Amino acid sequence: MALSVLPWAQQLPASRLTQLPKEARSVSRSNGAERSKALHQRILDNNFGIVRCKDLVWRRQDSERFYAEHSGRFFYQRLVEFMSSGPMRAYILAREDAISHWRELMGPTKVFRARFNSPASIRGQFGLTDTRNTTHGSDSLESAQREITFFFPDFCADEWMKKEEPLFRSGQIRYDHQNQIHTLSLSS
Ligand SMILES: Nc1nc2c(ncn2[C@@H]2O[C@H](COP(=O)(O)OP(=O)(O)OP(=O)(O)O)[C@@H](O)[C@H]2O)c(=O)[nH]1
Ligand SMILES: Nc1ncnc2c1ncn2[C@@H]1O[C@H](COP(=O)(O)OP(=O)(O)O)[C@@H](O)[C@H]1O
């Protein structure tokens, strides 16, 4: 599983659960909805199972808490402000090696590196600056678990791993267009 947050609203992997897209003020003011749709399609096209998906807006203190490990870095204040400046979308994504696949799909943190070295990546395509780089993705299983709890406090990863992960893994899922997530295909 992997956790991802798309800011316009930005995942979970046990081998696989987590990602978040970030996109806020400047982006959502113009074409945030369109971008969010494109990012959602990119997730589907890359064979991620969408376990959970939720639109939300952070308060400043949410942003400060989520990025506490960066407090003291020169970009902390701008990051905190950006992440609480508009809507974002949080995902729990599942697929084999979800964390590394998502991070590859996102591209490098620094936007010019992304543009030149990975122009087809999400950050290469949509990133504005090193801070406003469109998406977040957990960097390890441990951070995925912590970040999933942050965004989806009611989600029980252990139970999901036990009951649903094997069915996601074997493809016994279907896409629910209305709720924009994958659900188990019921075998009766
Ligand atoms: N070491 C260091 N690098 C900085 C500092 N400020 C900006 N940078 C880097 O300079 C590059 C361009 O920064 P800016 O042009 O200021 O970016 P910006 O337009 O402010 O956009 P945001 O990062 O979204 O606020 C990026 O690689 C930043 O990481 C700083 O105070 N210290
Ligand atoms: N040098 C930097 N300049 C500006 N913003 C940065 C810089 N490094 C990191 N950030 C911001 O902090 C976020 C978290 O940083 P980090 O966890 O190191 O990268 P990543 O999001 O690629 O895992 C980045 O996505 C970016 O928004």
Residue 40 falls in the annotated catalytic set: no
In the predicted model, is pLDDT for residue 113 greater than 50? yes
pLDDT digits (tens, 9 = 90+) for 124-146: 999 999 999 999 999 998 899 99
Selection from 3, 105, 115 nearest residue 45 by Cα: 105
Ligand 2 binding pocket includes 104 (Cβ within 6 Å): no
- Taking only the tens place, the pLDDT of each residue in 40-61 is 999 999 999 999 999 999 999 9
Q: What token pair was written down for 147?
A: 């970040």
| Res. 21 pLDDT band, cuts 50 70 90 | low
- Give the number of whichever ligand sits closest to the CA of residue 71: 2
Looking at the 3D structure of the chain, how many domains does it have?
1
> What radius of gyration do the chain's Cα atoms show?
16
Distance CA 173, CA 165 (A): 10
Tell me which residue has its CA closest to atom 11 in ligand 2: 131
Return d(Cα 33, Cα 129) in angstroms, integer. Answer: 19
Q: Over the range 158-183, which residues count as b (16 or more CB within 10 Å of their CB) and which as e?
A: eebbeebbeebeeeebeeeeeebbbe
Q: What is the CATH number of the domain that holds 40?
A: 3.30.70.141
Catalytic residue among 40, 136, 177, 182: 136
DSSP string spanning 105-167? HH--SSHHHHHHH-TTSHHHHH--SSSS-SEEE-SSHHHHHHHHHHH-TT--HHHHHHHTHHH
Residue 89 identity = R
Query: Can you give the residue range of the structural domain that contains 158?
Result: 2-184
Q: Which of 159 and 23 is assigned the larger pLDDT? A: 159
Model ipTM?
Answer: 0.87
The answer on pLDDT for 13 being more than 50 is no
In a 13 Å sphere around the CA of 1, the CA atoms on its Cβ side amount to 32
